[in-house]
Structure 1
């Protein structure tokens, strides 16, 4: 009974997940090129992966799919640390894209199907935005494997630079220190910037609608 209750009703909400994502972003931003730095980034991603599976465990179907997608993601996440080659790096980026895209989709369903504005709804919305930027960093990483010169001053295994470029693009800040060169890279950068703006627009409209529907406005 205790195990079943643990699987169906996770104790931790979106707030703890948002904190985990912020920790990964901070780790990626502050890290260097040493083995320890790479290890800490991989450890942070693994913790977020496990936390995501746990958060989705309230639904047996979501739990099953997240475990099936999470296992190969966990394997490639650590494999690139010890025997990195371009195809393994590509597999790592792609498995992360698949897993965290599924997690984001599940969170979207939970947040936008909510009947009222709550603290968990706000935190869930923040998690989705952060995960979008996180996913796009892996997409650009995969592109950098297939097209090594798609982005200037960056390579497929530079997690910190990929995360930085992704969030600069998502927020349409665009410093210009890292530039998409190929047509594919340019279209992906444009798509991420557009997605970030559309998400914020739709999210604000949804939250305002929920606020007034709940009779608080």
Structure 2
């Protein structure tokens, strides 16, 4: 295996973290300064796919499926711009949601069942937390699209700017900050909101316990090995 390939495998979640931070920060800046230019949102998502798909490199099947999702999203996005069909927009967001879920499952498995605690696993843990917020962002968007007025306090009219507002609400809910400037109104939106808050707190609790347990187990294993060698 080449040195570049080994580095990619050892630090695969660095790619995912860069991609996730790019879509979070890029989406906010695009909504702030260019709310009418949906092409910029598509470019940001394309970058996320191209960069983040390398986080799946440890699993050949997941890696291939990630590229299939990326190619499908690009085709749906291109068709949406050329044909001006709103349905392609929702198809693209569904593909993005599938990619987030796939990445979260792979990263979560590595974080909790991947052996010794490493920097890459810690980066993966951060990625899972961000993915939870992004998955709920898209869920909120679909609820708002299906039921107008499901959230109170949304001011944006363009879909990309509204997605950024719902992303803000999602992470505020995930971290239980609860500023109150945006609030769920419909029953389904409320259910999603409190489930996200529960999932966010449970994830942090389980993560800390798991990392401490793995560190103790690793330390104990090294201590036993050192005693065995001394004997």
Q: Give yes or no for TM over 0.5.
A: yes
Q: Rg larger in 1 or in 2?
A: 2
Paired residue for 1:149? Answer: 149
Q: TM-score with structure 1 length normalisation?
A: 0.85
Per-residue CA deviation, residues 176-197 of structure 1 (Å, 9 max, x unaligned), is 1111110011001111111111
Work out whether residues 151 and 184 of structure 2, in 8 Å CA contact, stay in contact via their aligned partners in 1. Answer: yes
Work out whether residues 12 and 56 of structure 2, in 8 Å CA contact, stay in contact via their aligned partners in 1. Answer: no
Work out whether residues 23 and 44 of structure 2, in 8 Å CA contact, stay in contact via their aligned partners in 1. Answer: yes
Paired residue for 1:51? Answer: 51
Q: TM-score with structure 2 length normalisation?
A: 0.80
Tell me if 1:201 matches 2:205.
yes
Aligned residue for 2:152, secondary structure, equals coil
Q: Residues 164 and 46 from structure 1, CA distance in 2 versus in 1: closer, same or farther, beyond 3 angstroms?
A: same
Per-residue CA deviation, residues 136-161 of structure 1 (Å, 9 max, x unaligned), is 11111111111121112336812211
Residue segments in structure 1 that go unaligned for 5+ positions in a row: none
> Matched residues in 1 for 2:196 and 2:87: separation?
24
> Matched residues in 2 for 1:8 and 1:16: separation?
11
Paired residue for 2:16? Answer: 17
> Shift of residue 34 of structure 1?
2.6
Paired residue for 2:214? Answer: 210
> Matched residues in 1 for 2:182 and 2:78: separation?
27
Count of aligned residue pairs for this structure pair: 215
Per-residue CA deviation, residues 25-67 of structure 1 (Å, 9 max, x unaligned), is 2222233263675433322221221222222123221122223
> Shift of residue 163 of structure 1?
1.1
> Shift of residue 121 of structure 1?
1.0
Residue segments in structure 2 that go unaligned for 5+ positions in a row: 224-231
Paired residue for 1:114? Answer: 114
Aligned residue for 2:93, secondary structure, equals helix
Work out whether residues 80 and 89 of structure 1, in 8 Å CA contact, stay in contact via their aligned partners in 2. Answer: yes
2:182 counterpart (178, 186, 195)? 178
Q: Residues 93 and 50 from structure 1, CA distance in 2 versus in 1: closer, same or farther, beyond 3 angstroms?
A: same
> Shift of residue 198 of structure 1?
0.9
Q: Residues 123 and 11 from structure 1, CA distance in 2 versus in 1: closer, same or farther, beyond 3 angstroms?
A: closer
> Matched residues in 2 for 1:144 and 1:82: separation?
25
